[in-house]
Structure 1
Amino acid sequence: MTTYIGVKDGQWRWTGAEPGLYRSSPKVERTFCRTCGSPVSFRSQAMSGTMHFYAAAMADPEVFAPSVHVAHEEKLCWFNSDDGLPKRNGPEYL
């Protein structure tokens, strides 16, 4: 389980060196830090037009307020998502 911050293309840019790119499957791209290997982002053709950045890789992820739980059907049994946010299965919300 992870937390992504989805940002529409055209509303973000790399400010330093571009991370490495790995195509983990025919329709999925993942980026990673070329120095330490930490994951940076995820992009799927099923959710085209949006880059999903790992919150754990951000310097200040608290500035982004959550708006939806996606792939809610895959949550861990102990994760409490009773916070009033909408819940969506898989990528169909886009």
Structure 2
Amino acid sequence: METSVQTAADERTGGCLCGKVRYRVTRDPRVHYCHCDMCRRATGSAFAVLGWVPAASLTWLGGRPAYRRSSPIARRSFCRACGTPLTLCYDTARNEIALHVGTFDNPEGLEPHYNYGSSQRLGWVCCGIDLPHRDTQQRW
């Protein structure tokens, strides 16, 4: 049986714009673009870039974020001081949490591997167009 050994190279840190909320993750995120309407509105951008990690691998350092319910199935966190969006978590998958890739201190190596919510992708968005596409599931 193979076991994975966690190394310091797996550790990544990040936080909000003002620095009051900081985090550390000890697993490399599974990264994708999300084109769904909820992510667009939550970020104020044409799409979100999310990195999923096991919730147990996330540690808040210092300040903690505020949470809000963004839909009947999900909640999002943000810095209450500066408003930076930080996480997304689905009620049915509490063992995983997505961090907004732009909040990592060093996001350079966190390249998306697929598109999610592709049926809602804005026609002029060309980032990741050659990556695999998945559609959202109707959840409510």
Please indicate the TM-score interval, normalised by the length of the shorter structure. Answer: 0.7 to 0.9
2:63 maps to 17
Q: Which residue of 19, 22, 31 corresponds with 2:77?
A: 31
Give ranges in structure 1 of 5+ residues lacking alignment.
none
Kept in 1, the 8 Å contact 2:49–2:112? The answer is no
Tell me how large the CA RMSD over aligned residues is: 2.1
Q: % of aligned pairs identical?
A: 26
Please identify which structure carries the higher strand content.
2
How many residues are paired up? 91
Over 3 Å counting, the alpha-carbon distance change for 1:20 and 1:54 in structure 2 is: same
- Could you list the runs of 4 or more consecutive aligned residues of structure 1 that deviate by over 6 angstroms after TM superposition? none
TM-score (norm 2): 0.56
- Once the 2 structures are TM-superposed, how far is the Cα of residue 46 of structure 1 from its aligned partner? 4.7
Q: Any conservation in 1 of the 2:89–2:97 contact (CA below 8 Å)?
A: yes
Matched, 1:71 2:109: no
Structure 2, unaligned runs of 5 or more? 1-46
TM-score by structure 1 length? Answer: 0.78
Match for residue 105 of structure 2? 59
